[in-house]
Amino acid sequence: MFEFSPNIIDHILVLIIGVILPIRSVKAQSLLKKVSFTPKMKTRLYIGNSISLWFMALLLGLVNWLMGRSPVDFGLHWPPDTMNDYAWWALAGFILLYGADLTYETAFPTSRENTIKEWQENIPFLPASFPEFIRFIPLAITAGICEEFIFRGYFITYFYNLLGSDNAYWAIFIPTLIFAIVHQYQGRKAVIKIFFMAIFFGLIYYYTGSLWQVMLIHFIVDLIGGFAAWRMLKDIPPRIPPVDPEIRLEEGEVLSSEAMDPPNEELPDPE
């Protein structure tokens, strides 16, 4: 694990990215559940989210570089370190958890129906057609790279150096908790799953010192999620939320609300 002495700039960055932005995102994400998304709005949301993630990741990289720390030191060295036994066990635990959950959520009629309902209520911007899935892929790539650099590469390393090596597991736990809260819009059950999956990501990074493995796994997970959404939602009529004239998405909110058309401007045709 890369060692450095966290300074006031690090504290400010963690406060902004790890506390202030997640709190603001909770409000924006709850409002998005009340929006009827057109394909055009979904595309703009994917692009806006990608830009936001790249901005935060590049900002962290630039600030650390200006302080004499190479972004490579935060898990981006090449070739990546080999997986030790602990990392393999963490990977096995993740695969077991994710595989069991994916099978349960998609393979059985009742759970499949519940999954579709939860997606439509909590994540109405998931791809529901092949063109939407194709446009979703760059966001999956971006999330795999940028979120892992932010939450695993920088945050875990920051808390590891702030709390000391004796509290290494707290250094994994705290960023994992923040990561789960950021995804609270997906529903309580999803947050719990994301929390435990992110724990495995943190353990893999901690025991290897490399982000490449978790970046790849994260991308694959998001890609599978987008693919499953397309296949399961393509023949389902879109959910039309009640029109709320009071809904206003503030400029600059997380999830790129400023890039979206007004709600209910047009309704997506069922694929």
- Mean pLDDT calculated for residue range 238-264: 48
Asked if the model's pLDDT at residue 227 lies above 50, the reply is: yes
Residue 20 structure tokens:
């202030």
Asked if the model's pLDDT at residue 16 lies above 60, the reply is: yes
Asked if the model's pLDDT at residue 260 lies above 70, the reply is: no
Q: Please tell me the predicted confidence (pLDDT) of residue 208.
A: 92
**Where do the domains of the chain lie?**
8-72+82-239
pLDDT digits (tens, 9 = 90+) for 114-156: 999 989 888 889 999 999 999 999 999 999 999 999 999 999 9
Mean pLDDT of the chain: 86
Q: Find how far residue 205's CA is from the centre of its chain.
A: 16
Q: Please tell me the predicted confidence (pLDDT) of residue 237.
A: 77
Report yes or no: 205 and 214 within 8 Å, Cβ to Cβ. yes
Cα–Cα distances in angstroms (integers) from residue 5 to residues 8, 150, 171, in the given order: 10, 18, 15
Phi-psi region of 256 (alpha: psi -120 to 50; beta: other; left: phi over 0): left
pLDDT tier at 255, thresholds 50, 70, 90:
very low
Q: What percentage of the chain carries pLDDT values higher than 90?
A: 61
Q: Is 209 exposed, middle or buried (0-12, 13-18, 19+ CB in 10 A)?
A: middle
Q: Please tell me the predicted confidence (pLDDT) of residue 271.
A: 45
CA separation for the pair 199, 201 (Å, rounded): 5
Report yes or no: 94 and 197 within 8 Å, Cβ to Cβ. yes
Which one has a higher pLDDT value, 138 or 257?
138
Q: Please tell me the predicted confidence (pLDDT) of residue 243.
A: 54
pLDDT tier at 49, thresholds 50, 70, 90:
very high
Asked if the model's pLDDT at residue 247 lies above 60, the reply is: no
- Mean pLDDT calculated for residue range 246-270: 43
Report yes or no: 253 and 52 within 8 Å, Cβ to Cβ. no
Q: Please tell me the predicted confidence (pLDDT) of residue 257.
A: 37
| Model pTM score | 0.83
Q: Please state the φ and ψ torsions of residue 115, each to the nearest 5 degrees.
A: -65, -45
Asked if the model's pLDDT at residue 261 lies above 60, the reply is: no
pLDDT tier at 241, thresholds 50, 70, 90:
low
pLDDT digits (tens, 9 = 90+) for 58-81: 999 999 999 999 988 999 988 777
Which one has a higher pLDDT value, 166 or 78?
166
